Amino acid sequence: MEGNLLSGEASPYLLQHKDNPVHWRPWGPDALAEARNTGKPILLSVGYAACHWCHVMAHESFEDAATAAVMNRLYVNIKVDREERPDVDQIYMAALHAMGEQGGWPLTMFLTPDAEPVWGGTYFPKEARYGRPAFVEVLEWFAATLRSEPERIEASRAALVEHLRAAPELRGGTLTPGVLDEAGALVERLIDPDNGGLRGAPKFPQPTLLEVLARRAARAGTSAPEVTLTLRHLAQGGIYDHIGGGLARYSVDERWLVPHFEKMLYDNALFVERLTQQWTESGEALFRTRIEETVGWLFREMAVEGTFASSLDADTEGEEGATYVWQPDEIVAVLGPDRAQAFSAAYDITGPGNFEGASIPNRLGSIGPRDAAEEAALAEDRARLLAVRARRPQPGRDDKILTDWNGLMIAALARAGVQLGRPEWIDRAIAAYRFITESTRPDGRLVHSRRGGKQLGLAFASDYAGVLKAALALHQATADDGFLADAGRMVAILDRDYWDEAVAAYRLTPSVGADGLVARPLPILDESIPSANAIIAQALVTLASLTGDPAHAARADAILAGHLGSARDVLGRAGLFNALDQRMNVTEVAVIGTAAEGAAELVAAVRRAWRDAFVLLVRPGGVPLPDRHPAHGKTTVDGRAAAYVCRNGACSLPVTRAEELAALLR
């Protein structure tokens, strides 16, 4: 079949390419059958809607008729949204890494007609530059090599497929508490002492690594200055949108000044989660303000059908960051000369600019807060500038609803709503959770993505991980055992459809229904978010604490023992180290009694002292705790609610006063 076949797709990224002269096909049985039937190799292009270099390659090559003619003559061309099909992306990105190439998007892979990888790269320019060959030259070279040197193609294909299908070497070691401190010390040595984050550029927020440091400090009963340093710079740098709220994906420099302007739902979920813990510990006003601003951005710009959209583009009308930067005269026009002078001094708005002749608002010149009156005036200035900015052309929004990313944001909202006393955030989190968990397949299983009434595909293990995290966060926020029951159902599906005993982990794709893939990816390594197995392992430990079911802890132990060997694993497996800390250092707090008996005050005391490893279980008097819970059999005391703090299977004496409980939790 001739022509471009993307017009019927739901993905905004695929729809961006529906008018290309390239004969694009979406990934699926029809495209794969076409390759096998014609004998043509596959040109696989993977990207996402907010990706700047994806747009560059599209404008240069995919919109060019001459380039498209070469692609159409030589290849079956398949376009994939990596967010919609993370399984396809992970398989071929792993193949690229096996070739010794650095990954990134767009991902450009050359496959056999059976979809087996042979060779590839990322961005290829239309004309040779940046040390890269011209894209048409690459297209013609690969097709010629396929014909003239089949043995070379076969050797590459066989090696890559063997790599993709190889079972991981299980660690099988004995994990001790010392490995957690060693891992934390390793991360600490890599932190930039001036700007926070990992040393060098580009700089990514890395909240999962920050959690490693925060948990290490909690074990020692100290603070984590590297976490505070990093979060302050994130909160005050240009990577944060000071006018509208929300965090960009990364900074191209080591100071957090110049962002890659795309905003992703998952980054902001993890940002809110980490800021919430840091605010709970320190009470630092900056962190609370950034949480509130980011949630405000979320509700204002990302709301879709009661849930949240995936991302905002880096580009506006083809220009990166155009919506977000300012000139001094624009500030004067909005604020007037007096306030413009004060605002520009605070936010680094200058004539020369700090980004391609314009200025990215930032507070890096003075990280600390100004006095309360000046901060209030600056807040009014930002609101006026936002109203004007809203009239500018806006970046594109990818409004597909991804189950896994929404799960992360629901969990963050629930936690922040509790800690900051914002019950309306919890209500929004519950509404989003209901939409995600009730918009399922006919058999009750989750779907990965939905947009415009279309449900797209079976869910991945990452989707169940996100919903599991959300369910447990909502249970901790509300004490509603319905969320606990949901979590149990999610684990049952994961165990049935995704668990692979041979590799002691959950596969990304289910055992049935993932046809056409050359391998089933194993999500062990963290990417921008913790791996699915890390999120699940931590949830399993929490679920074991809440239910008393040792099977959950045993499954988490299998994952951790199989895939953690030493502290050196921490950079790629920080999420698993955080799950290991949860396993070894969980603090289980049981509050028994009703609100009338003082339970609410005790629960509030727990939440004020909250740490990552805490698990709270609330039960009215007379409703027993689970049989294997360490506080099983404990009761109220003389008609008053009582709290029991349990560590390593041993519980404190009953505590009936909130201040005594707070002291015990410290």
| DSSP structure class, residue 40 | P
Question: Are 580 and 591 in the same domain?
Answer: no
Give dist(CA 428, CA 424) in Å, integer.
Answer: 6
Decide: 175 and 585 in contact? Cβ < 8 Å: no
Question: Are 268 and 407 in the same domain?
Answer: yes
DSSP strand pairing (107-111 vs 250-251) = unpaired
Q: Is residue 563 part of a domain?
A: yes
Q: Is residue 268 part of a domain?
A: yes
Instruction: Choose among 586, 601, 585, 497: nearest CA to 543.
Output: 586
Q: Which of 562, 585, 608 is the endpoint of a domain? A: 585
Q: Which of 335, 369, 392 is the endpoint of a domain? A: 392
Give the pLDDT confidence score for residue 169 in this predicted structure: 82
| Domain residue limits at 657 | 587-665
Give the pLDDT confidence score for residue 431 in this predicted structure: 98
Q: Is residue 4 part of a domain?
A: no
Question: Are 210 and 161 in the same domain?
Answer: no
Question: Are 263 and 388 in the same domain?
Answer: no
Question: Are 145 and 227 in the same domain?
Answer: no
3-state SS assignment for residue 629: coil
What residues contact residue 381 under an 8 Å CB cut-off, 6+ apart?
335, 339, 342, 343
Q: With 0.75 as the threshold, say if the pTM is over it.
A: yes
Q: Is residue 208 part of a domain?
A: yes
Q: Which of 338, 358, 392 is the endpoint of a domain? A: 392
Secondary structure element (H or E) that encloses residue 468, with its range: helix 461-478
Q: Is residue 3 part of a domain?
A: no
Give the pLDDT confidence score for residue 458 in this predicted structure: 83
What residues contact residue 354 under an 8 Å CB cut-off, 6+ apart?
238, 257, 258, 348, 360, 362
CATH code for the domain in which residue 83 is found: 3.40.30.10
Question: Are 161 and 306 in the same domain?
Answer: no
Give the pLDDT confidence score for residue 512 in this predicted structure: 84
Question: Are 380 and 435 in the same domain?
Answer: no
- What is the number of structural domains in the chain? 4
Question: Are 277 and 357 in the same domain?
Answer: no
Question: Are 273 and 405 in the same domain?
Answer: yes
- 10-residue averages of pLDDT along the chain (666 residues): 90 95 96 95 95 92 97 97 94 94 92 95 90 91 94 95 89 83 96 97 96 96 95 98 97 96 97 97 96 98 96 92 97 97 97 96 93 95 98 96 98 98 98 93 88 86 98 97 96 97 96 83 95 98 95 96 92 97 96 93 95 94 86 92 94 95 92
Question: Are 270 and 413 in the same domain?
Answer: yes
Give the pLDDT confidence score for residue 262 in this predicted structure: 94
- Per-residue pLDDT tens digits for 606-643: 999 999 999 999 999 878 889 889 999 999 999 999 99
Question: Are 287 and 385 in the same domain?
Answer: no
Give the pLDDT confidence score for residue 173 in this predicted structure: 66
Give dist(CA 558, CA 554) in Å, integer.
Answer: 6
Q: Is residue 61 part of a domain?
A: yes
CATH code for the domain in which residue 482 is found: 1.50.10.10
- Per-residue pLDDT tens digits for 318-347: 899 999 999 999 999 999 999 999 999 999
Give the pLDDT confidence score for residue 351 in this predicted structure: 96
What residues contact residue 272 under an 8 Å CB cut-off, 6+ apart?
291, 294, 295, 409, 412, 413, 416
Q: Is residue 170 part of a domain?
A: no
Give the pLDDT confidence score for residue 1 in this predicted structure: 64
| DSSP structure class, residue 103 | P
Question: Are 301 and 438 in the same domain?
Answer: yes
Give the pLDDT confidence score for residue 434 in this predicted structure: 97
Q: Is residue 171 part of a domain?
A: no
Give the pLDDT confidence score for residue 150 in this predicted structure: 92
Q: Which residue has the tokens 């240009």?
A: 238
Within 198-284, residue ranges assigned H as helices are 207-220, 225-236, 265-282
Give the pLDDT confidence score for residue 52 in this predicted structure: 87
Q: Could you write out the DSSP letters of every residue in 585-607?
A: H-EEEEEES-GGGTHHHHHHHHH
